[in-house]
Chains A and B, each alone.
Chain A
Amino acid sequence: MQRKLLLEHIDVPGIQSYDVYRSKGGYASVEKALKTMTPDAVVEEVKKSGLRGRGGAGFPTGMKWSFLAKPEGVPRYLVCNADESEPGTFKDRYLMQHIPHLLIEGMITSSFALGAKTSYIYVRGEFFYIIRILEKAIAEAYKNGWLGKNIQGSGFDHDIYVHPGAGAYICGEETALLESLEGKRGNPRIKPPFPAVKGLYDCPTVVNNVETISAVVPIVNNGGEAYAAIGIGKSTGNKLISASGHIKKPGVYEIEMGLTVEEFIYSDALCGGILNDKKLKAVVAGGSSVPILPAELILKTASGEPRLMSYESLADGGFATGTMLGSGGFIVMDESASIVHNLYTFTRFYHHESCGQCSPCREGTSWMEKILHKILEGHGTISDIDLLWDIQRKIEGNTICPLGDAAAWPVASAIRHFRPEFEAYVNNPKQQLEVSYYDHCRNLASAEV
């Protein structure tokens, strides 16, 4: 088992409180950065570490930071994206709930690197209890001189504010998040300009995921090169994976990038295998937005090599035979799961969460949901499957923000890999409905046991 970086002290009793966190070496990165490093040196370390955004897109964090415009006399902001709403992803919530000071520490260090005097944590509206935890942690940090004016005598001032969202998935998109933070309707902005040039209140802004900001702490503590040594290829470091679905031990796991998918699912230390020792059917590897892959493709790439938990390996083969690491929401489905049913659930979600700004997403997501509902009700036709394919093709890439893509990819991949299952629903709906409903109930029952 490799060394944990983020969840190292997660089991220490009372780690939520400042005293315990500090006694375990907390806030060392702030001390190190403020006393021995320049802001540019911190950015350089993050660049060296090869850290990539943990929110889904996997954009190199160091590069994002170096894009930040630095005009004279204009404030800069760091915004932490804690609007974690992707179905199947719950790593940020876990991190904030159990070890809130890690995020606060990362925020201070990152803000020092970026020269931001104010930063915001935009928390998903449903995470009300998390807001209380964070506010308590921030109050403790203020009390102990890690926030406020002249932090630890270094001359660096910093304030953190927690801002609750109102429960909209779209506000996890960085520009919609900024709009919402400004108090407006959470509609994604049209890019360019990018937030690095014109972000919050028209000032240069960096938006990073909770896990990304937390990962800055071990990077500064141990050095960028030490972090880059972990992992495989361009996927450096550790990644939190939220494992859920038909597995024996669902939960949040911190793994080193490069672990094989097979080991992740079947090893006793991690997911522990498929529930009730059934056969693996399919995996959604990175949250509901990424393409679903059937068992044979998730365990091995199209060229027959074992698939690894890394940005590159999961994307191997493009969307034809690959998927994405995404946000790390790892949803496992066993042989009893119905792909059509599952797809309907996902599509219903995207329909509900579309902001309605641009037409392909606004109209397309609801259309796809209606067609899938029709198929599930047993009124579908074969041409409906082709129509679904055509709709997703016309949404993908034609929208303002990635929500359109996120709605289109699951549909595309489900039809690409599981078309016979759709046809079975169309040709023999009654039998399919009975089987899947029965299995659904049985699974629920066994999960409770």
Chain B
Amino acid sequence: MAKVTIDGIDIEVPDGTTILQAARMIGPEVAPPTMCYHSKLKTSGGYCRTCLVEVTKGSEKDPRPMPKLVASCRTNVMDGMVVTNGLSEKVQDARAGVVEFLLLNHPLDCPICDQAGECHLQDLSYEHGNYNTRTDFERRTFEKIDIGDKIQLHMTRCILCYRCVKVAEQITDGRVHGVLNRGDLSEISTYIKEAIDNDFSGNMIDVCPVGALTDKTFRFKSRVWFTKPVDAHRDCDKCSGKVVLWYKGDDVLRVTGRKDQWGEVEEFICNTCRFDKKQTSDWTIEGVREISRHSVISANKYKRLVRPKRLTINDIKALPE
């Protein structure tokens, strides 16, 4: 076991836990935001740099602070480590920088984007970004490619989190897409415009934190906040069959996997459940699903929310243990 202190709160966690996991155990108040890390995907994380934290004390054995900010999703805790996240000016500054970089070439076409309302980038920029942009250059665009009849790719919205690549590598039995080119020209693409077609490819939609990969069967059907999520299951021979149905009136508009409080899929589902079973009669309904992280159901969530202010040491004391 290792004892770590994150933003002044102590917690004991097993060895091999990452700083991010330890912070999530304490609670959402101290957990750094993530874009590319996904708890169900191996080797994910480390790319987006939104979860950077400051390690002010390395460990009990070696108390020197780490010279640079570290990616909390890929750094393991050490016994006696002291981490500052919300309290650190340096971290807040770097995070604001990362948000600015992520939005730099993002088209901001939220009004026509199917992901709007459940988009991690929206949440992130609301919580950590600036109100104004400092760039007046033309935003980057890509040649549109068709990656199959189920999934729509909008490369301009992509933040290159590599999650969909990891899904294809770890969940499906043959990856046909990946990252092509280099630098700011990197793009998600299939090899010589091959279609992505296998039983679990739909999970790429669920793991995509932005609107780069969206469901073609749900395209332009409805804003997500007008739909009602309902937990349901069915006997499926390929997957667990545990899903969320998104209703508008009596119609199931789309089927997705269940996401936890961090917006990460709990169990991956197969394409049959996702794309073909859109009748209530196909499913056993469990009940209404609460979605805490996003503004999906609670329309106007942001309006009622007070923009989070920077934490001070007094706020930390008031947080629940």
Q: Which residues of A contact B (CB under 8 A)?
A: 168, 170, 185, 190, 351-360, 362-367, 370, 387, 391, 393-395, 397-400
Contact = CB atoms under 8 A, between A and B. Distances in A.
Contacts of A354: 182-184
B135 interface: yes
Contacts of B67: 397
A359 B178 CA distance: 17
Contact of B182 (A356, A364, A398, A399): A356
Interface residues of B, number: 34
A365 B184 contact: yes
A360 B69 CA distance: 13
B164 interface: no
Contacts of B159: 359
B300 interface: no
A362 B100 contact: no
Nearest to B96: A394
Interface in B198-239: none
B195 to A, nearest CB: 22
A411 to B, nearest CB: 14
B171 interface: no
A356 to B, nearest CB: 3
Contacts of B179: 185, 356
23 contacts: A352-B183, A353-B182, A354-B182, A356-B183, A357-B47, A357-B160, A358-B48, A359-B47, A359-B98, A359-B159, A360-B49, A360-B98, A362-B183, A363-B101, A363-B184, A365-B183, A365-B184, A370-B137, A387-B134, A391-B97, A394-B101, A397-B69, A398-B69
B93 interface: yes
A317 B48 CA distance: 33
B71 A190 contact: yes
Nearest to A395: B97
Given A398-B94, A398-B98, A356 B49 contact: no
Given A356-B160, A356-B185, A363 B48 contact: no
Contacts of B68: 397-398
Contacts of B137: 367, 370
Given A356-B186, A400-B46, A400-B47, A362 B135 contact: no
Nearest to A359: B101
Contact of A360 (B93, B97, B105, B182): B97
Nearest to A367: B104
A358 B46 CA distance: 8
A102 to B, nearest CB: 33
B90 to A, nearest CB: 9
Contacts of A359: 47-49, 98, 101-102, 159-160
A347 to B, nearest CB: 12
A237 B45 CA distance: 41
B46 A356 contact: no
B181 interface: yes
B153 interface: no
A205 B46 CA distance: 22
B74 interface: yes
Contacts of B181: 356
B47 A358 contact: yes
B187 to A, nearest CB: 9
10 closest Cβ contacts across the A-B interface? A394-B97, A356-B186, A363-B101, A354-B183, A190-B46, A366-B184, A397-B68, A356-B183, A363-B104, A359-B101
B87 interface: no
B189 to A, nearest CB: 13
Given A398-B49, A398-B97, A363 B185 contact: no
Nearest to B162: A357
Interface string B123-153: 0000000000011010000000000000000
Interface in B53-105: 67-69, 71, 74, 93-94, 97-98, 100-102, 104-105
Contacts of A391: 97
* A185, A354, A364, A394 — most chain B CB neighbours (10 Å): A394
A399 B93 CA distance: 14
B52 interface: yes
A394 B94 contact: yes
Contacts of B69: 397-398
A354 B47 CA distance: 13
Contact of B184 (A170, A351, A393, A395): A351
Interface string B100-124: 1110110000000000000000000
Contacts of A364: 101
A351 B46 contact: no
Nearest to A384: B134
B105 A363 contact: yes
Contact of B160 (A362, A365, A366): A362
A397 B137 CA distance: 25
A400 B186 CA distance: 17
Contacts of B98: 359-360, 394, 398
Contacts of A353: 182-183
